[in-house]
Chains A and B, each alone.
Chain A
């Protein structure tokens, strides 16, 4: 899509979510901002707004960002009802103001999901994702020297597909976009990434069982194949991986042999 090449500064109205902490009630607050260049990123406009608020003695709006090039997964705003805003395949930090017109109002909210409590304003706690990885999102190989990397071949299509899944940036937009607040896209991306590689096989069954169990415990909802997650995903992760996760899960339930006590008596 070709966007306007007009460089005239715009006036934008921000309707922003303010919330002191997880326990407090939140509300919208409205601020007008002039001098917004179409070449600014959305986050740069937010920087400008915060500088403006500071000059007026108003507390700045808390929002998160880091790499500002769509790979760290830190930024997380729902803009005009869409996780990461209207641009497809882009994180909040990759959204440019040329997507909007002079006089537009932007409604900016945090990710909304029970498993992602609001920390402050637009910042939420995504610790649940780390805890899901912690119970199984790894190969299990110890760190240190290993057999030569080329000792085990991996077919290119498998490696490519593993990479498609591994591209997930863990931002949580899938959860924010899902009417059920399901984390299935995130969890399935990790399970598929490691299931596609021979290095992921020793812990394959244990992984899917433990990660799915943890996902449920964290309070994420169930997947009902709506597909909003895929549309919101800044990395275009496909819901096919959710189907793969289900297959992995069923196989694991059938095959899983719990670890026996180790060590022996000798």
Chain B
């Protein structure tokens, strides 16, 4: 495949580019929209908003999700809030500032045109969500409340208690269900996309497995929109939902879609530490806690076993305040996470595992009173109490970084279209606007921007630009893709029959441990090579056999079979992440290569050699992907060293 990466961003002053695109785009008349079928996979913020908007416009939308209801998408778990450059607080915010901070926060590894558009439409998202009935927090004046979040110096984050993701998702879900009632959206729950169907070089359909009956189905359309979320679960332990997976994106990748910056992973600094081998997921404690909590560890190793309340102030190391006096506890996520790792590596971690630091509210409670703290964070404190059996009003919380978000994803152009015409990718699933590090409260913004305000235009432009041939599910390409899927399922049955030393979950946990150890917060040349060897060995084990019980084959509901199919894809993606991390011999954002750091341990970027998107092509051998580069040009936000000192 000959690939030329062209983002196709409009030219001219950055603030006019989106308007220019909209002004020049091709349209589809209302009467013709009805004749187009569009597949939307995923019902999170990105997919839910896309299906609602495209249905509203009159397209025939087929929507798919793996859960029993579209409302269960992983977006529901987002707590803290959503950014928008409304400037309501009169504190110096603007579209330009949000654009600037997002490019800088992403450590100069995102595309300026896309990010500017994101900042522009952020304002519309709030208007849309309020119109849809999202009960955002309000002031006594009746106006919307804003807070500062995740290290920004302006207050631009809108929130609905600690349940912002839930409320925004329910807003999109309700708008989509209205379209179901109108007959423009047809909902397919309990369906997992297992392959992409390409006809004449264009994305024209998908193969899905009905998770209740095990039946394999073919679905045809004029375009396919993937909004299937991130792949943080490759680490097994993460804050992501249990069923989050990479399968839809990975299968599209294996059919030719390029994977952009797979190694860019966000490790969130404030999560509840791992408590044992049984653990199935990690729980995030919202970043907003860092507004009032102070992060510390004992100065002396000997104190680490002591009860925290017995350690005197002068024996505490408030290391973020010490290292970053300007931003203190509010430094961006990547910086805060790494700093926690450093103190734990020095042997100053706390808790049973010694892999934790304190997040302490003692001073805030003294300053404003327990009631104010309870009002702000009550639900989070309760959640912490429930999980750890410790009362954070009395004892500092123990926290540790955990995998949270993946900035990498399928490569897309300005229209959010992959290199396969007709395949659009939205939300966390695309390689996104966040570069090498995402700022807090910006994923919800991006998901809804993509779904409500970008795809309705760019998809229409695509469909209006040329005639598509008539294709139905009888086409050879569908038969071939379905055949491939069936072969895969048969092979799983065969391997389950062979058996093996370990269950699917045991192998999966092992992959996760390997990824966390070598492709996690700190990456080295030797470590990444070790990871590659280990992943290849795991893949070999998995290819030979595993323990999985399939009493009636694959034609029935079996959740562990679903996990097996996903693990097979994670075992390939994991290696690509290591290969990408190995290739990127610089530190930037969440990607920290130990070989590339300053004397005081800060990340050292290499703009001369790495100011590009690494877009990987599948070649048939997961160990030998081909690299394509999209050069990043910075006309507005000129790369400087990110300093939060």
> Chain A interface (Cβ within 8 Å of chain B)?
2-3, 5, 37, 39-41, 43-45, 47-48, 50-51, 53-55, 57-60, 62-74, 87, 90, 94, 96, 98, 119-120, 123, 125-127, 129-130, 133-135, 137-150, 152-156, 159-160, 162-163, 166-167, 169-170, 193-194, 196-197, 199-200
Known: A41-B280, A59-B549, A126-B69. A137 touches B177 (CB 8 A): yes
Bound-state CA distance A71–B142 (Å) is 27
List 9 A-B pairs, minimum CB-CB distance, nearest first.
A153-B142, A138-B174, A141-B131, A162-B135, A149-B130, A146-B127, A163-B135, A146-B131, A159-B138
Residues of chain B in range 163-179 having any CB-CB distance to chain A below 8 Å: 163, 165-167, 170, 173-175, 177-178
15 further A-B contacts with Cβ under 8 Å, apart from A53-B549, A133-B177, A149-B86, are A37-B278, A43-B280, A47-B505, A54-B560, A71-B163, A137-B174, A141-B133, A142-B56, A144-B56, A144-B128, A146-B130, A146-B131, A160-B138, A166-B160, A199-B132
Q: What is the interface of chain A mostly: helix, strand, loop, or mixed?
A: loop
Say yes or no: is B383 at the interface (Cβ < 8 Å to chain A): yes
Give A152 to B141 CA distance when docked, in angstroms: 11
In the complex, what residues of B have CB within 8 A of residue A96's CB? 386-387, 389
**Distance between A123 CB and nearest chain B CB, rounded to angstroms:** 7
Q: Which residue of B lies closest to A162 (CB)?
A: B135
Contacts of B68 in A (CB 8 A): 64, 74, 125-127
Residues of chain A lying within 8 A (CB to CB) of residue B189: 127, 130
Measured CB to CB, the nearest residue on chain A to B239 is A69
**B278 partner residues in chain A, CB cutoff 8 A:** 37, 39-40, 44-45, 47-48
**Residue A159 contacts which of B135, B170, B386 (CB distance < 8 angstroms)?**
B135
The answer to the question of B503 belonging to the interface, with a C-beta cut-off of 8 Å to chain A, is: yes
Alpha-carbon distance A119/B559, docked complex (angstroms): 13
**How far is B161's CA from A10's CA once the two chains are assembled, in angstroms?**
37
CB-defined contacts of B174 to chain A, threshold 8 Å: 133, 137-139
Whether the pair B166, A71 counts as a contact (CB closer than 8 A) is yes
Whole-angstrom distance between the Cβ of A76 and the nearest chain B Cβ: 9
Query: Chain B residue with minimal CB distance to A170?
Result: B71
B546-586 toward A: CB 8 Å interface, digit per residue (1/0)?
01110100001111100000000000000000000000000
The 29 sampled A-B contact pairs (Cβ below 8 Å) are: A5-B389, A43-B280, A44-B279, A55-B503, A63-B559, A65-B242, A66-B72, A67-B77, A67-B241, A69-B281, A71-B77, A71-B163, A96-B387, A134-B178, A139-B132, A141-B128, A143-B175, A145-B127, A146-B130, A146-B131, A149-B126, A150-B88, A153-B141, A156-B142, A159-B135, A159-B136, A160-B138, A163-B137, A199-B133
Give B245 Cβ to nearest chain A Cβ, in Å.
11
Complex CA gap A38/B50 in Å reads: 43
- A51, B506: Cβ atoms closer than 8 Å: yes
Question: Which residue from chain A places its CB closest to the CB of B56 in the assembled complex?
Answer: A143
CA distance A57 to B281 in the complex (A): 26
**Contact flag A169-B166 (CB < 8 Å), given A47-B280, A72-B241:** yes
- The reply to whether A68 and B135 form a contact with Cβ atoms under 8 Å apart is no
Cα distance, A80 to B69, chains bound together (Å): 26
Smallest CB gap from A58: residue in B: B549
Within the complex, which residue of A73, A135, A145, A147 is in contact with B71, where a contact is CB–CB below 8 Å?
A73
Q: Quick check: is B193 within 8 A (CB to CB) of the other chain?
A: no
Given A54-B548, A156-B140, A199-B131, decide whether A72 and B76 contact each other with a Cβ distance below 8 A. yes
Residues of B at under 8 Å CB distance from A? Answer: 49, 52-53, 56, 67-72, 74, 76-77, 86, 88, 124, 126-133, 135-144, 160-161, 163, 165-167, 170, 173-175, 177-178, 180-181, 187, 189, 212, 241-243, 275-276, 278-281, 283, 383, 386-387, 389, 452-453, 456, 503, 505-506, 547-549, 551, 556-560
Which residue from chain B places its CB closest to the CB of A200 in the assembled complex? B133
**B53: A residues at CB distance < 8 A:** 143-144
Query: A155–B67 Cα gap in the complex (Å)?
Result: 36
Within the complex, what minimum Cβ distance (angstroms) separates B626 from chain A? 35
| A203 CA / B40 CA spacing, docked (Å) | 28
In the complex, which residues of chain A have a beta carbon less than 8 angstroms from the beta carbon of B556?
120
Q: Which residues of B contact A74 (CB under 8 A)?
A: 67-68, 72
- Bound-complex Cα distance A44 to B131 (A): 40
A139 touches B133 (CB 8 A): yes
Query: CA of A39 to CA of B165 in the docked complex: distance in angstroms?
Result: 27
Chain B CB count within 10 A is highest, among A41, A51, A149, A156, for A149
Q: Which residues of B contact A140 (CB under 8 A)?
A: 178
Q: State in angstroms the CA–CA spacing of A118 and B52 once bound together.
A: 30
A68 with B280, Cβ < 8 A, contacts A57-B549, A143-B53 known: yes
Least CB distance from B395 to A in Å reads 13
Contacts of A126 in B (CB 8 A): 68-69
Contacts of B163 in A (CB 8 A): 71, 167
Closest Cβ neighbor of B79 among chain A residues: A71
Q: If A129-B69, A130-B69 touch, does A156 touch B139 (CB 8 Å cutoff)?
A: yes
**Which chain A residue has the least Cβ–Cβ distance from B121?**
A145
* Contacting pair A134 B130 (CB below 8 A): no
Closest to B504 in A: A54
The residue among B173, B386, B548 with the most chain A CB atoms within 10 A of its own CB is B386
CB closest residue in chain A, given B77: A67
On whether the beta carbons of B281 and A68 are closer than 8 Å, the reply is yes
- The smallest C-beta distance from B254 to any residue of chain A, in angstroms, reads 25
Query: Are the CB atoms of B557 and A123 closer together than 8 Å?
Result: yes
Distance in Å from the Cβ of B21 to the closest Cβ of chain A?
16
Taking a contact as CB atoms under 8 Å apart, the answer to whether B281 and A72 are in contact is: no
* CB atoms of A50 and B242 under 8 A apart: no
**Complex formed: what's the CA distance from A257 to B189 in Å?**
35
Q: Nearest Cβ distance between residue B275 and chain A, in whole angstroms? A: 5
Contact partner of A163 (CB less than 8 A), chosen from B52, B128, B161, B503, is B161
Q: Which residue of A lies closest to B51 (CB)?
A: A143
Shortest C-beta distance, B237 to chain A (Å), equals 11
Cα distance A146–B123 in the bound complex, in angstroms? 10
Q: Choose among A59, A144, A162, A193 the residue that contacts B452 (Cβ–Cβ < 8 A).
A: A144
Given A54-B503, A68-B241, A130-B70, A120-B132 contact (CB < 8 Å): no
Asked whether, in the complex, the Cβ of B551 is within 8 Å of the Cβ of A59, the reply is yes
CB distance from B77 to the nearest CB of A (A): 5
Determine the residue in chain A with the shortest Cβ distance to B136.
Answer: A159
Q: Which of A127, A130, A200 has the most CB of B within 10 A?
A: A130
CB contacts (< 8 Å) of B126 on chain A: these are 149
Q: Kindly state the separation between the CA atoms of A146 and B242 in the bound complex, as whole angstroms.
A: 36
Closest to B142 in A: A153
Contacts of A141 in B (CB 8 A): 128, 131-133, 175
- Are A66 and B74 in contact (CB-based, < 8 A)? yes
Given A68-B241, A127-B189, A149-B144, A135 and B181 contact (CB-CB distance below 8 Å): yes
A67 B74 Cβ-Cβ under 8 A: yes
B142 touches A67 (CB 8 A): no
Q: Is the CB of B86 within 8 A of A166?
A: no
- How far in angstroms is the closest Cβ of chain A from B228? 14
Q: Which B-chain residue is minimally distant from A55 (CB atoms)?
A: B547
**Contact assessment for B175 and A138 in the assembled complex, using a CB-CB cutoff below 8 Å:** yes
The answer to whether A143 touches B49 (Cβ under 8 A) is yes
Contacts of A130 in B (CB 8 A): 69-71, 177, 187, 189
Chain A residues with Cβ below 8 Å from B212 are 119
Given contacts A67-B242, A166-B167, A199-B130, contact A134 B177 (CB under 8 A): yes
Chain B residue at minimal CB-CB distance from A35: B278
